[in-house]
A and B are shown apart, each in its own frame.
Chain A
Amino acid sequence: MTESTSPQAEWPLYEVFVRGKRGLNHVHVGSLHAADDEMAVRHARDVYTRRNEGVSIWVVRAEAITASSPDEKDPFFAPSGDKVYRHPTFYAIPDDVPHM
């Protein structure tokens, strides 16, 4: 039995993602506690979409998320740091060449 199943323990923590409107990604908006997935969606509606902020909600147990290490200057992201040639501005094109 995990701790979350004892009646005294807190309901598990869920992270909430809301799609603001069609055509946009779901975006993280916050978290909440709920006894199960279905209740998490209902609570997310009440807490995070009281004024038409969303057309779709995702909830996921916080414990199910795997993240990179916390430091934003982490060497994990170094491989993209020294590859300036991945950006269009790396290439010099004469000004009189159109549509580039």
Chain B
Amino acid sequence: MTLTESELQQGFEATIAHHDRIEPRDWMPEGYRKTLVRQVAQHAHSEIIGMQPEGAWITRAPSLRRKAILLAKVQDEAGHGLYLYSACETLGVSRTELTEMLIEGRQKYSSIFNYPTLSYADVGTIGWLVDGAAICNQVPLCRTSFGPYGRAMIRICKEESFHQRQGYELLMTMMRGTDEQRAMVQESVDRFWWPALMMFGPPDDESPNSAQSMAWGIKRNTNDELRQRFVDMSMPQAEALGVTFPDPDLRWNEERGHYDFGTPDWDEFMQVVKGDGPCNRQRIAHRKRAHEDGAWVREAASAYARATEERERDRAKVERAPAPSLRGADGRVETR
């Protein structure tokens, strides 16, 4: 029996209403699939492009300890990109297509990574504020309605906590140093505060897709809710660190039980999103070069795999040997 489209739609909506997860082979409305492809791909691309600003400091880290930490962190970003690409592919897009869409500018990534890392303190600020904002965004996404996306987010959130703590600890160390180092930290925080607030996206009344994404259970909170949560979390951390945020309107509002804060420069945000941020061209050019420089490795590995397969097929023909078995003497499959 074939179900009609309206019956399929009803089944989909019932699953969402039960807060159950949608899995890759379930029927889903085309709009739901497209929205997820766009969001998960953009998220994956952000992780991959996000390796560049901090990666630039690996060779200049001030100690072996800091270098090992930064290497592990940048490797994590690569891993996060792969978890998310893997989730996105379950929606019927290929990895090759995703890479091409990034390189050709047909899909976006978070605008935060189009800002430069001018001083070593930026490594700490990115960990504290940029990864902190990412955690705010990502924790509710662990409950997103699409199964593979939620599972990827759970893995990522477990690892993000290391990212934020290493950044904050780095800044604390610098704040215990010289006046010059303290000034470096403050200068870095001043540059990253507003772009970090912009990571949550445009204000709710200018975010036309938000309502539909919330109805589908893809998003669980609005942009403004998450931005407020981030400001409230960051203020006591800034006080403990001994830095300030560059916002004269930032103050505790007893009545609301939240911090009030100023409006980010949304014109700057739109400009960066549209491709005219400080580093947009550099980031994409770097990604494109890395992809093209790696082509021979991908081809060599394919050629090796093909040659090995053919050699083994020929040998099997000659020897007529039984296929290697995983069964032990007792007949049970060895699974270790």
A60 lies within 8 A of chain B by Cβ: no
Q: Are B25 and A35 in touch, CB under 8 angstroms? A: no
Instruction: Encode B274-313 as 1/0 by CB contact (under 8 A) with A.
Output: 0000000000000000000000001101111110110000
Given contacts A7-B303, A10-B96, A36-B304, contact A47 B82 (CB under 8 A): yes
Q: Are A36 and B305 in touch, CB under 8 angstroms? A: yes
Q: Are A10 and B94 in touch, CB under 8 angstroms? A: yes
B55 lies within 8 A of chain A by Cβ: no
A36–B309 Cα distance when bound, in Å, is 9
Within A1-19, the residues touching B (CB, 8 Å) are 5-7, 9-11, 13
Contacts of B75 in A (CB 8 A): 50
Nearest B residue (CB) for A56: B336
Contacts of B335 in A (CB 8 A): 26, 56
Q: Are B299 and A31 in touch, CB under 8 angstroms? A: no
Task: State how many residues of chain A have any CB contact under 8 Å with chain B.
Answer: 26
Tell me the smallest distance from the CB of A15 to a CB of chain B, in Å.
Answer: 10
Given contacts A31-B86, A36-B305, A50-B75, contact A71 B26 (CB under 8 A): yes
Contacts of B203 in A (CB 8 A): none
Instruction: Encode A51-84 as 1/0 by CB contact (under 8 A) with B.
Output: 1000010000000000100111100000000000
Q: Are A32 and B86 in touch, CB under 8 angstroms? A: yes
Tell me the smallest distance from the CB of B128 to a CB of chain A, in Å.
Answer: 21
A33–B97 Cα distance when bound, in Å, is 14
Chain B residues at the A interface, C-beta cutoff of 8 Å: 11, 23, 25-26, 72, 75-76, 79, 82-83, 86-87, 89, 94-96, 151-152, 155, 159, 298-299, 301-306, 308-309, 335-336
Chain A residues at the B interface, C-beta cutoff of 8 Å: 5-7, 9-11, 13, 26, 29-33, 35-36, 39, 46-47, 50-51, 56, 67, 70-73
